[in-house]
Amino acid sequence: MVIPIRDENPTRRFPVVTAALIAVNCFVYFFVQMPKSDVQDLEFLYEYAAVPCEVTSGEPVVAVPVSPFGQPLAGTPTGCAVGATGIETPQPVYPDKNVYLAVLFSMFLHGSILHVLGNMLFLWIFGNNVEDRLGPIGFLLFYVVTGLAAAGAHIALNADDPTPVVGASGAIAGVMGAYIVWFPHARVLSILPIFFFFTFVELPAVVVLGLWFVLQFFTSPDTGVAWLAHVGGFVAGAALAYALGGALGPPRIGPSRPPPTWGRRAGRRDDPGDWGFRGPPRGGG
């Protein structure tokens, strides 16, 4: 898998909404959600995050009594329920929770520091150009719509799952889907792991994002990654970008320049006076 670092695709204006989304996501994780223990983290997620079986049933998840070995006691209800010790009768975990609004909240919650930082890196690399093309308001609407589509894809195929779903990944996948439609040949500086070594390469966005999309189908079910949300968001973003393409006109990819040699290692000049990602040439012969 390649890890994108930045793209060579200048924008005409500062991406206000992209920067604001990054700031909000980081603030929520580090100052609101930041877990103090596994139990507190789980309680927070059940209170605010989307839970597939809650959305499909329209009711908050119910805690049901279980034995010390985690087995449901005889007569306890099934369905949108989680086991809990220390209770004698089933009871809603958070009875006043708005289970539909939680789908929107989940787009600003994350499972770990690496989760939030990785998502924000992808959002910054690809979001600024999509925002530049759609405008701030249009981009915000696009982000929310693709995020909801991503959540819908996961929930539709995991309708009875009582596990909370968190992350901006689905909405960001929608942004990536739009990017691959509008800027398939934009150059993306990426880290390419080769055994125990890493090298920097320039690749077209269609390769970087296309590879990312294909790899979602090989995600191990044991990782806990909601890959269906990634696929749903990406497809929704690509479809919307294709549909909007005619109305928005042709995309703009910075100044005109000679076509690159895709996949070359970073560090080589490709034309005089233009150093791209590589910086000016060093002194010497």
Concatenated DSSP letters for the chain? --EEEEEE---SS--HHHHHHHHHHHHIIIIII--SSHHHHHHHHHHHSB-HHHHHHSS--EEEEB-TTSPBPTT---SSEEEESS-SS-EESSTT--TTHHHHHGGG--SSHHHHHHHHHHHHHHHHHHHHHH-HHHHHHHHHHHHHHHHHHHHHTSTT--S-B--SHHHHHHHHHHHHHH-TT-EEEEEEEETTEEEEEEEEHHHHHHHHHHHHTT--GGG---HHHHHHHHHHHHHHHHHHHHHH-S---SS--PPP-TTPBTT---BTTB-TTS-SPPS--
pLDDT computed for residue 254 by the predictor: 55
pLDDT computed for residue 221 by the predictor: 77
Angle separating helix axes 136-156 and 227-248, nearest 10 degrees: 140
* C-alpha dist (Å) from residue 71 to 52, 83, 235: 22, 8, 40
Query: How confident is the model over 11-33, as pLDDT tens digits?
Result: 999 999 999 999 999 999 999 99
Is residue 115 included in any domain, yes or no?
A: yes
Q: Are residues 160 and 70 in the same domain?
A: no
Structure tokens at 6: 């930045």
Contact 89, 75 (CB under 8 A): no
* β 187-194/62-65 pair status: unpaired
Is residue 261 included in any domain, yes or no?
A: no
Q: Are residues 67 and 166 in the same domain?
A: no
Contact 198, 81 (CB under 8 A): no
pLDDT computed for residue 284 by the predictor: 46
Query: How confident is the model over 68-96, as pLDDT tens digits?
Result: 555 555 455 667 888 776 676 777 889 99
Give the global pTM. 0.83
Residue showing tokens 């708005």: 98
Q: Are residues 76 and 193 in the same domain?
A: no
pLDDT computed for residue 77 by the predictor: 60
Is residue 16 included in any domain, yes or no?
A: yes
Domain count of the chain? 2
Is residue 40 included in any domain, yes or no?
A: yes
Give me the domain span that covers residue 84. Answer: 61-94
Mean pLDDT, consecutive 10-residue stretches, the chain (285 aa), reads: 91 96 97 83 92 94 72 60 73 90 97 95 97 97 98 95 95 98 95 83 95 93 89 98 81 55 46 42 44
Q: Are residues 223 and 203 in the same domain?
A: yes
Contact 182, 7 (CB under 8 A): no
Is residue 272 included in any domain, yes or no?
A: no
- Number of residues that make up the chain: 285
Is residue 169 included in any domain, yes or no?
A: yes
- Report percent pLDDT > 70 for the chain: 81
pLDDT computed for residue 189 by the predictor: 94
Q: Are residues 199 and 222 in the same domain?
A: yes
Is residue 156 included in any domain, yes or no?
A: yes
